[in-house]
Amino acid sequence: MRTAFIESLCEAAAGDPNIWLLTGDLGYSVLEVFSQRFPDRYVNVGVAEQNMMGVAAGLAMSGKTVVAYSIVNFVTLRCLEQIRCDICYHGASVKIVGVGGGYAYGALGHTHHGIEDLSVLGSMPGVDVVAPADPIETRLAVQTLLQRKGPAYLRLGKAGEPKVHQNSPAFGVGSIVPVREGRDVLFITTGGLLEEALRASQQLVAAGLDPAVWSNPWLRPFDVARVTAAAKDFAVIVTAEEGVITGGLGARVAQIISGMEGSRARHIGVGVPPEVGPSALSQKAARARFGLDANALAAQALAAMKRS
């Protein structure tokens, strides 16, 4: 995802001299292609994320479109008030990019578990919040966000994620990306869990079910219409997010379903509880532990289908 990010950023910057890139002293072996090509529009602000966000806002308030890059927690939680007051309140075109979303850096310990970002950023006023599933969605997200005015948060994984999409899908602002058609159980994922849901769906097919799989990169704006329709069409909706269950994808889907009248889907919201977890935890182990890997998702969907 990081490679897709920097490639598409460079393409955009070649056509738009107002695009700047700031980093909080991270991005080794990723950002060099930008800094070498556009040295006048690249600043490593140092390990100072609060200042980075203020500088980014000041640049944006002077007509620039600014990408601010670091590891998820450093570029969101560390400088949250700067995001709220300096970026959001001014409607500044600062595109915050966090790498290491979820447990991508899980083995590095608690400080590097990027699990509250989507929930917290989703509470900030007027921010686009996007967590692409793979390098193809990443590229589309970068292109789309750079063309939109105002603040955005882009949550990336790390490097080397597989392409899940075969081709470039339709990627409208705030739109869910359907990946697999189906009739009885629907998986909606955000970020890199799409591949787990696709593998879970294969297990369900083997069990005689007809599952659908949707990728939901846009936490904000959110595809209320499609989720509302799905709640009428499917018996079970399983949401999966590599982040806390308080305030993310599942909470949003539950809010929509709970406001509907009449018969509607049963919702299973899978995610991480907002508790102190184990320290070193690889992404694979984390997904297994929190019920987010393919086996666990398939099992939860099957159990829910039996109960429904």
Partner 1 sequence: MSTERPNSAVASGQPLTSASEQSTREFARRLRVHVLRMTHRARASHVGTCLSIADVLAVLYGAVARVDPTNPDWHGRDRVIMSKGHGAAALYAALVVRGFFPEEWLDRYCQDGALPGHVTHRGVPGVDASTGSLGHGLSLGCGMALAAQSERLDRRTFVILSDGELDEGSIWEALMFAAHHRLGRLFAVIDYNKIQSFGRVEEVLALEPLAAKLRAFGWNVVEVDGHDHAALSRALTQLPQAAPTVLIAHTVKGKGVSFMEDRLEWHYRSPSDEQLAAGLLELGAVV
CB nearer partner 1, residue 73 or residue 82: 82
* Per CB under 8 A, 39 contacts partner 1: no
Q: Which stretch binds partner 1 (CB under 8 A): 85-93, 131-139, 166-174, 274-282?
A: 85-93
CB nearer partner 1, residue 36 or residue 255: 36
CB nearer partner 1, residue 61 or residue 288: 61
Which one of residues 54, 150, 169, 174 is an interface residue with partner 1 (CB under 8 A)? 54
* Per CB under 8 A, 89 contacts partner 1: yes
Report in angstroms how near the CB of residue 66 gets to partner 1 at its nearest: 8
Q: How far is CA 268 from CA 165, 185, 229, 244, 247, in A?
A: 25, 11, 17, 14, 15
The HSE-up count of residue 79 (CA atoms within 13 Å, CB side) is: 29
Report in angstroms how near the CB of residue 15 gets to partner 1 at its nearest: 18
Q: Report the C-alpha gap between 254 and 247 in whole angstroms.
A: 10
* Per CB under 8 A, 50 contacts partner 1: yes
Give residues 168-227 in contact with partner 1 (rule: CB under 8 A). none
CB nearer partner 1, residue 43 or residue 129: 43
CA dihedral 225, 243, 140, 34 (to 10 degrees): 150
Which one of residues 13, 19, 31, 56 is an interface residue with partner 1 (CB under 8 A)? 56
Which one of residues 4, 10, 19, 57 is an interface residue with partner 1 (CB under 8 A)? 57
Q: Which stretch binds partner 1 (CB under 8 A): 35-43, 152-160, 165-173, 209-217?
A: 35-43
Which one of residues 11, 12, 33, 90 is an interface residue with partner 1 (CB under 8 A)? 90
Q: How far is CA 61 from CA 8, 43, 210, in A?
A: 24, 17, 50
* Per CB under 8 A, 86 contacts partner 1: yes
Report in angstroms how near the CB of residue 81 gets to partner 1 at its nearest: 6
Q: Report the C-alpha gap between 301 and 91 in whole angstroms.
A: 41
Report in angstroms how near the CB of residue 54 gets to partner 1 at its nearest: 2
Burial (Cβ within 10 Å: 0-12, 13-18, ≥19) of residue 15: exposed
Give residues 58-77 in contact with partner 1 (rule: CB under 8 A). 58-64
CB nearer partner 1, residue 46 or residue 259: 46
* Per CB under 8 A, 53 contacts partner 1: yes
Q: Note the residues at the interface with partner 1 (CB under 8 A).
A: 40-41, 43, 45-46, 48, 50-64, 81-82, 85-86, 89-90
